[in-house]
């Protein structure tokens, strides 16, 4: 399986690095195209077996999968500048907000297309990656799940859910970081050194996430385990609710759609 990645920016570069660390595609079968050389040189420094080029058409020439990692407003011009073979090649795009109908206008309605929305944790192989498919077989969907599943958690969803799910995962990671930032500032005010406070809070967030993912439990159940009658935790939780914490999170998610 040969993969061409058009765009070596933050997301394209992270995906290339993630694929190389997995077992589905060899580095020699990956070609990354980018107009400038700096980011391509960085990829070659990471793994010299990755093929790099400044020519998009050269990159996709023999590819089975063409992964488009460019800004949404560049999608049309980039696709129109290359000869994509809808009969032999699969188009995968990480451009947010561009619907399948728009791609079909460019590459044809017979094409097999995947919309993929990772988040920035993909650079650490800890992404939540959303995948929607068009004209794809079950085998093709499973390959995408396996490929991106090596870079974190991958989920197949309907395209109609993509906007809401992106708010939860791609935008949502920023809201989690905002909580961590605020909690660290509280720790500093209470006398904890910033670096120590950050480690404490970040590990607490990681631990909370693992409780849910590994035990397949519910947040309310885990909260109950640490809230004793008259205890410190319930006092803090009630302060959060008095300040509109839950409402603020819900409003932020809905605003990000």
Per-residue pLDDT in tens (0 to 9) along the chain, 257 residues: 999 999 999 899 999 999 999 999 999 999 999 999 999 999 999 999 999 999 999 999 999 999 999 999 999 999 999 999 999 999 999 998 899 999 999 999 999 999 999 998 998 899 999 999 999 999 999 999 999 999 999 999 999 999 999 999 989 999 999 999 999 999 999 999 999 999 999 999 999 999 999 999 999 999 999 999 999 999 999 999 999 999 999 999 999 98
At 120 the pLDDT is 86
Q: What integer pLDDT is reported at residue 152 of this predicted model?
A: 95
CA distance 43 to 12: 10
What per-residue confidence (pLDDT) applies to 199? 98
Distances (CA, A) of 74 to 69, 116, 168: 10, 16, 25
Residue range(s) of every CATH 3.40.50.720 domain in the chain: 3-157
What is the distance between the alpha carbons of residues 255 and 76, in angstroms, rounded to a whole number? 27
CATH for 3-157, among 3.40.50.720, 3.40.190.10, 3.10.180.10, 3.40.50.300? 3.40.50.720
Helices (H), 47-107: 56-60, 75-80, 100-107
CA distances from 49 to 15, 134, 227, 242 (A): 15, 32, 53, 56
Asked if 92 and 144 touch (Cβ cutoff 8 Å), the reply is yes
Give the per-residue pLDDT at 201: 98
- Phi then psi for residue 32, to 5 deg, are -115, 130
- Report yes or no: 16 and 30 within 8 Å, Cβ to Cβ: yes
Distances (CA, A) of 198 to 175, 188, 192, 209: 16, 9, 9, 17
What pLDDT is recorded for position 250?
96
Q: What is the pLDDT of residue 68?
A: 97
Query: Measured over all CA atoms, what is the biggest interatomic distance in the chain, rounded to whole angstroms?
Result: 68
State how far the Cα of 168 lies from the Cα of 164, in Å rounded to an integer.
7
pLDDT number for residue 123:
85
Angle at 137 between CA 86 and CA 76, to 5 degrees: 35
Residues whose CB falls within 8 Å of the CB of residue 145, separated by 6 or more in sequence, listed in order? 131, 154, 155, 156
How would CATH label the architecture of 165-255?
Answer: Orthogonal Bundle (1.10)
216: left (phi over 0), alpha (psi -120 to 50) or beta: left
What is the chain's length?
Answer: 257
Domain ranges in the chain with CATH number 1.10.3730.10: 165-255
- Pairing relation of β-strands 51-53 and 90-93? unpaired
């Amino acid at each position: 399986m040969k993969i061409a990645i058009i765009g070596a920016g933050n997301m394209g570069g992270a995906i290339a690095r993630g694929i190389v660390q997995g077992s589905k595609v060899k580095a020699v079968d990956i070609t990354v195209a980018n107009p400038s050389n700096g980011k391509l040189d960085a990829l070659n420094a990471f793994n010299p077996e990755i093929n790099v080029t400044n020519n998009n058409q050269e990159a996709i020439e023999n590819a089975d999968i063409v992964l488009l990692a460019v800004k949404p407003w560049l999608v049309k011009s980039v696709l129109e500048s290359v000869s994509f073979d809808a009969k032999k090649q699969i188009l995968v795009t990480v451009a947010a907000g561009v619907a399948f109908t728009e791609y079909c206008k460019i590459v044809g309605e017979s094409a097999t297309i995947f919309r993929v929305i990772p988040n920035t944790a993909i650079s650490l192989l800890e992404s939540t990656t959303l995948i929607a498919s068009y004209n794809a077989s079950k085998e093709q969907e499973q390959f995408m799940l396996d490929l991106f599943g090596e870079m974190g958690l991958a989920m197949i969803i309907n395209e109609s859910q993509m906007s809401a799910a992106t708010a939860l995962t791609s935008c949502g990671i920023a809201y989690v970081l905002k909580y961590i930032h605020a909690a660290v500032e509280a720790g500093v005010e209470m006398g904890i050194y910033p670096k120590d406070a950050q480690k404490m809070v970040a590990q607490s967030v990681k631990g909370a996430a693992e409780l849910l993912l590994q035990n397949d439990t519910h947040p309310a159940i885990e909260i109950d385990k640490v809230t004793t009658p008259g205890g410190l935790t319930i006092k803090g939780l009630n302060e959060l609710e008095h300040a509109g914490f839950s409402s603020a999170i819900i409003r932020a998610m809905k605003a990000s759609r």
